[in-house]
């Protein structure tokens, strides 16, 4: 058990790093910080070191372990249904743990280059009766589980482990950033049968969909905000840094555009054309995976660093549908998303505990789903 007063969450994106330290006892004491925008990760060690130093100064504690939120264009989700015949006796926790372990091993055998970071038990079916959580005092002849896995590439996990190892910091747990944020934000929204999150990042876009509060799928598109920047750079014949500055500030600095002899209308056309392409690809994915012909009944939330060029005032500029809601995220919003998920507030998620932290039976080391 750590004797530290603070627990720290890092969110390492492709263009920005955010971090938050939270006092374990006093929930009103916390610190947030974030890096400046960057185009590549050649100086990511330096940016992380600056954040580490600032957090250590604010918390007055030496930072030796963190929880890390990341995404990847190569991450994936896998759904598995698995069942087991029993003898009609009372259902035991060990029966559930056996099935989860079995499904987990199937995923790892078929995806040797991936690490499982989230395991969600979506549904328990006991003798044809469905439950959303583990039922007590139920006799069972046949048990089946619908399990949802979210995986991140091993090479991505090792890459970040090695970076923090340089600063003598270990990573306690990895989180899928898009998934953690969607869990946090959906709890603050009015409930709807169909809810989808589009997280536009630097080089990828994540799509996460829920039906009646149950996660249905996570899809990844290898296109993001940086593609808009490249379009502006190529068409206007300017360097990539100037293009990024124009993309983020085209409606805020007309003097700059006049000095560069740049057309506001042309910049908007370039920007919104690529944005509309990204969103249309997302809509196709949502329709396909939810088996919907129209999206009238689906609330869509737009978030992510790559979506900061848009806000609710630009909805009319995008010609694909009206019911889109923009979330302007802060470092606090993002880091608190990781904190809430790390605290086990999602009751359907299996909490995977590192073996070094517990001295219990085999299954207990892997799965702490029953609290």
User: What secondary structure, in 3-state letters, does 140-191 show?
Assistant: CCEEEEEEEEEEEEHHHHHHHHHHHHCCCCEEEEEEEHHHHHHHHHHCCCCC
- Inside any domain, residue 343: no
Alpha-carbon distance of 155 to 17, in angstroms, equals: 19
pLDDT of 371 higher than 60: no
**Average pLDDT of 201-211?**
94
Mean confidence (pLDDT) of the chain: 87
Lowest mean pLDDT, pick from 97-106, 171-180, 244-253, 347-356: 347-356
Residues 24 and 170 in one domain: yes
Give which of 248, 249, 232 is closest to 240, Cα–Cα: 232
Residues 313 and 165 in one domain: no
pLDDT band at 323 (very low <50, low <70, confident <90, very high): low
Alpha-carbon distance of 52 to 169, in angstroms, equals: 10
pLDDT band at 369 (very low <50, low <70, confident <90, very high): very low
Lowest mean pLDDT, pick from 14-18, 94-98, 321-325: 321-325
Residues 197 and 325 in one domain: yes
**Average pLDDT of 145-153?**
96
- Inside any domain, residue 337: no
pLDDT of 107 higher than 90: yes
Q: Check which CATH number belongs to the domain holding 136 and give it.
A: 3.30.1490.110
Can you say how many angstroms the Cα of residue 96 is from the centroid of all Cα atoms in its chain?
26
**Torsion (CA) 260, 266, 267, 271 in degrees, nearest 10:** -160
- Angle between helix axes 331-342 and 177-186 (nearest 10 degrees) is 90
Q: Which residue has the tokens 């190892």?
A: 165
What does the pLDDT read at residue 319?
A: 54
Higher confidence at residue 47 or residue 137? 47
Residues 197 and 265 in one domain: yes
Lowest mean pLDDT, pick from 148-152, 161-165, 304-308: 304-308
Residues 193 and 299 in one domain: yes
Spatial contact of 21 and 59, defined as CB atoms under 8 Å apart: yes
What does the pLDDT read at residue 316?
A: 63
pLDDT band at 353 (very low <50, low <70, confident <90, very high): low
Residues 261 and 312 in one domain: yes
pLDDT in tens, 113-148: 999 999 999 989 999 899 888 888 899 999 999 999
- Nearby residues of 12 by Cβ (< 8 Å), 6 or more positions away: 44, 48, 68, 69, 70, 160
What does the pLDDT read at residue 178?
A: 97
Residues 97 and 228 in one domain: no
What does the pLDDT read at residue 233?
A: 93
Lowest mean pLDDT, pick from 23-37, 131-145, 311-325: 311-325
Residues 147 and 127 in one domain: yes
Range of the domain at 298: 189-329
Q: Which residue has the tokens 């379009």?
A: 231
Q: Check which CATH number belongs to the domain holding 162 and give it.
A: 3.30.420.40
Residues 146 and 205 in one domain: no
- Angle between helix axes 154-165 and 44-59 (nearest 10 degrees) is 60
Structure tokens at 67: 């929880």
Residues 38 and 26 in one domain: yes
Number of structural domains the chain divides into: 3
**Average pLDDT of 200-211?**
94
What does the pLDDT read at residue 346?
A: 77
What does the pLDDT read at residue 311?
A: 57
Alpha-carbon distance of 356 to 354, in angstroms, equals: 6
């Amino acid at each position: 058990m750590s004797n530290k007063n603070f627990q720290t969450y890092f969110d390492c994106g492709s263009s920005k790093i955010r971090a938050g330290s939270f006092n374990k006892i006093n929930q009103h004491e916390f610190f947030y910080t974030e890096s400046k925008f960057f185009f590549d990760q050649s100086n990511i060690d330096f940016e992380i070191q600056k954040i580490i130093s600032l957090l250590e100064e604010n918390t007055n504690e030496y930072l030796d372990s963190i929880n890390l939120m990341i995404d990847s264009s190569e991450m994936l989700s896998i759904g598995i249904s698995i069942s087991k015949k029993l003898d009609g006796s009372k259902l035991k926790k060990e029966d559930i743990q056996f099935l989860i372990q079995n499904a987990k091993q199937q995923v790892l055998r078929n995806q040797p280059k991936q690490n499982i970071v989230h395991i969600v038990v979506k549904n328990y079916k006991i003798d044809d009766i469905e439950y959303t959580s583990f039922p007590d005092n139920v006799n069972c002849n046949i048990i089946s589980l619908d399990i949802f896995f979210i995986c991140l590439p091993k090479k991505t996990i090792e890459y970040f482990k090695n970076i923090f190892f340089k600063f003598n910091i270990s990573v306690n747990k990895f989180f899928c950033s898009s998934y953690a944020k969607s869990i946090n934000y959906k709890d603050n929204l009015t409930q709807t049968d169909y809810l989808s999150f589009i997280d536009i990042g630097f080089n990828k876009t994540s799509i996460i969909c829920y039906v009646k509060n149950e996660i249905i799928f996570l899809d990844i598109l290898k296109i993001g905000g940086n593609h808009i920047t490249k379009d502006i750079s190529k068409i206007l014949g300017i360097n990539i840094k100037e293009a990024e500055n124009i993309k983020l500030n085209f409606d805020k600095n007309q003097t700059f555009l006049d000095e560069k002899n740049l057309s506001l209308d042309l910049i908007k056309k370039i920007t919104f054309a690529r944005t509309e392409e990204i969103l249309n690809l997302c809509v196709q994915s949502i329709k396909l995976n939810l088996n919907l012909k129209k999206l009238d009944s689906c609330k869509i939330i737009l978030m992510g660093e790559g979506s900061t060029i848009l806000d609710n005032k630009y909805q009319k500029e995008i010609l694909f549908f009206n019911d889109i809601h923009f979330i302007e995220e802060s470092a606090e919003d993002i880091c608190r998303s990781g904190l809430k998920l790390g605290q086990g507030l999602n009751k359907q998620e299996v909490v995977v505990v590192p073996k070094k932290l517990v001295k219990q039976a085999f299954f207990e080391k892997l799965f702490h789903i029953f609290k």
